[in-house]
Structure 1
Amino acid sequence: MDALLDFATRLLAQLQSPTLAFLLGGILIAALGSRLEIPESIYKFIVFMLLMRVGLDGGMSIREANLADMLLPALFAVLIGAGIVLIGRFTLALLPSVRTEDGIATAGLFGAVSGSTLAAAIVVLESEGIDYEHWAPALYPFMDIPALVVAIVLANLYLKRRDGSSEKVRIWPIVKESLQGSALSAMLLGIALGLFTRPEQIFEGFYDPLFRGLLSVLMLVMGMEAYARLNELRRVAHWFAIYAAIAPLLNGLIAFALGYVAHVLTGFSPGGVVLLAILASSSSDISGPPTLRAGIPSANPSAYVGASTSVGTPVAIAIGIPLFLGLSQVVFGT
């Protein structure tokens, strides 16, 4: 009983943290009809700055890390990304009133990773004083790319069978499209610079000090965007809203379980397990949508973008982050 009470107290405390407060504040002012706008160019710059900071930190940490320690978490990240899409293919995509390609695209977006959710999780872990492997955010592409590739391949195979086409599905163009996405490009650039150069001075003097402030602005924008996308979600089957509310937590729990296995076998830290779970609970909000639009043009963006932005991301940040932190405390005693 004491453990459950402590878990509930921690969950409530996390909902009052600055990161989550700005997200909820954005939703609130949008609901009240505020005309506040953040220019798109500023939004894109903030995303770039956050992902470069995460990438640089990850690259510098990989340089000092034992690569053998990364192998099992990286393998689990690949399995989680692909597995989330397969689960969606045989659940959401088969429900009544759900077009199969819309269901697969939605599962692909939820299997991919949100850089903003990852950044929010890092801030919360650091504010709580919870240690984690600083290469853990570099698991991002190991989960993101397989999810998008599997989703596009499954959707195209389905559409070609339905239409009687014998044309082959080519995988490399899908991988290339994913790698060229703005979010993943920024992350990979940061990792490469951190790994092969010595950016410590500019990291400590520029990227790191701005991280939390920029993240608060991004959370505000995402809160307003989440509310604005609700109308899009109302136009499609209600199953998408139900999936978007359940999938982040279920996906995160699957990842937490696999992270625990990595903890037992390789010493993967509790903080690393939490980050893996949050990566899995997130849904891509930057590079994923354009990749899916190009790869599955017949899928309805109102379904997969609406589900991700209006429900999935707020659930992952406002509920998922405190949930997995509380679960870590129960399991690991941290």
Structure 2
Amino acid sequence: MQLDIVVGFFILGAFAQLVRSDLRLPAGLYKSCVIFLLIAIGLKGGAALSSYSAATLLPQSLAVVVFGALLPLVAFPILYWIGRWSRVDAAAAAAHYGSVSVATYAVAVALLSSRGIDYEGYFPLFVALLEVPAILVGILLARGAVADANWKKVGHEIAFNQGVLLLLGGIAIGAWAGERTASVMPFFGNLFHGVLALFLLEMGRVAAEKLPDVRAQGAFLLSFGILMPLIGAAGGAALAVLLGLSPGGIFLLAVLGSSASYIAVPAALAVALPQANASVSITLSLAITFPFNVLVAIPVYLALVQHWS
């Protein structure tokens, strides 16, 4: 089992924070990396869409949407009944685990690329689809706490936040342009691993920065941040097998099920559930689940898929 080279930059960023180095990616560069990765993933997926029929994509897409809606329903009882969190905080955190981390997906795709393993080219569509249902389920789980929510504003944030807009926009442009995407792929394709490395350098620093919050929250936070990704990965892999996906596709859907959002969901819930303790959810997804996936789970998932395929 071997980690992809980009993971080394995540470790370097975490180490820099732990030794109190002044290393920090400029805010503008970090935002540029996020924009680049979202567009690059969307373009590649959009260009591949033309090779697949609606008869294939529609049932698979519906299944993935249902999967994304079910994951918060698994996470919520654990947080509410076992963790004894408030209903609002449990619902908010559960929504994070039904949605996805584009960065985690990017690391998984980079690993497949480095190993020369093929997968279904339309997977970025699944990434975009999984951003929405978990947020809606999380809001519904909070019930009375959102009675006065501005649903128009919430809907706008869900549909048009930066992550969803850039990813869907990239998919649409890629599907429209088809083979013409080759003209921009020297930039969005060849530089993908390098930009991902820079992004993970900053993510490692931010994750290490939140370690004191993990220690303060106790064993339950750490246990949930590792257990829930394993549950999501098992569900994702099982769904992928039922859908008849390739080994690469099984691996990617397991990774999507295992990941937790720390960009799109916090932005939407800041509008819908402003009373929720956002720092706890961010600590869970970014300081526990993201490092666990990048450093441990992703290579293990791939090894297991390759062993059983």
TM-score (structure 2 length as normaliser): 0.94
1:105-148 per-residue CA deviation (whole Å, 9 max, x = no partner) reads: 11111111111111111110111111101111210122120011
Q: Which amino acid aligns with 1:142?
A: L
Structure 2 counterpart of 1:306, from 271, 278, 283: 283
Give the equivalent residue in structure 2 for 1:295: 272
Q: 1:262 to 1:42 in 2, by over 3 A?
A: same
Q: Which amino acid aligns with 2:228?
A: A
Please say if residues 149 and 171 of structure 1, whose CA atoms lie closer than 8 Å, have aligned partners that are also in contact. no
SS in 2 for 1:319: helix
Distance 2:220 2:160 in 1: 31
Q: Which amino acid aligns with 2:57?
A: M
Q: Which amino acid aligns with 2:132?
A: I
Q: Which amino acid aligns with 2:188?
A: Y
Give the equivalent residue in structure 2 for 1:193: 173
Give the equivalent residue in structure 1 for 2:131: 144
* More moved, 191-200 vs 102-111: 191-200
Distance 2:265 2:149 in 1: 19
Distance 1:281 1:274 in 2: 10
Structure 2 counterpart of 1:240, from 210, 221, 228: 221
Matches within 5 A, 1:241-320: 241-263=222-244, 268-320=245-297
Q: How many residues align?
A: 308
1:219-261 per-residue CA deviation (whole Å, 9 max, x = no partner) reads: 1111111011122334446422221121112211111011111
1:137-169 per-residue CA deviation (whole Å, 9 max, x = no partner) reads: 2101221200111112211x1436xxxxxx477
SS in 2 for 1:61: helix
Distance 2:98 2:300 in 1: 19
SS in 1 for 2:184: helix
Q: Which amino acid aligns with 2:164?
A: L
SS in 2 for 1:90: helix
Q: For residue 86 of structure 1, report the CA deviation from its aligned partner.
A: 0.5
Give the equivalent residue in structure 1 for 2:308: 331
Query: Once the two structures are aligned, what percentage of the paired residues are identical?
Result: 30
Q: Which amino acid aligns with 2:225?
A: A
Distance 2:46 2:270 in 1: 30
Please say if residues 150 and 272 of structure 2, whose CA atoms lie closer than 8 Å, have aligned partners that are also in contact. no
Matches within 5 A, 1:101-120: 101-120=88-107
Matched, 1:78 2:59: no
Q: For residue 189 of structure 1, report the CA deviation from its aligned partner.
A: 0.8
SS in 1 for 2:73: helix
Q: For residue 297 of structure 1, report the CA deviation from its aligned partner.
A: 0.9
Structure 2, unaligned runs of 5 or more: none
Please say if residues 118 and 137 of structure 1, whose CA atoms lie closer than 8 Å, have aligned partners that are also in contact. no
Give the equivalent residue in structure 2 for 1:159: 145
Give the equivalent residue in structure 2 for 1:65: 52
Q: Which amino acid aligns with 2:301?
A: F
Structure 1 counterpart of 2:192, from 202, 211, 219: 211
Give the equivalent residue in structure 2 for 1:180: 160
Please say if residues 73 and 259 of structure 1, whose CA atoms lie closer than 8 Å, have aligned partners that are also in contact. no
Distance 1:153 1:31 in 2: 39
TM-score (structure 1 length as normaliser): 0.87
Q: For residue 285 of structure 1, report the CA deviation from its aligned partner.
A: 2.1
1:262-301 per-residue CA deviation (whole Å, 9 max, x = no partner) reads: 11xxxx2111111111111111122221111211111101
Structure 2 counterpart of 1:231, from 191, 208, 212: 212
Structure 1, unaligned runs of 5 or more: 1-9, 161-166
* More moved, 98-107 vs 37-46: 98-107
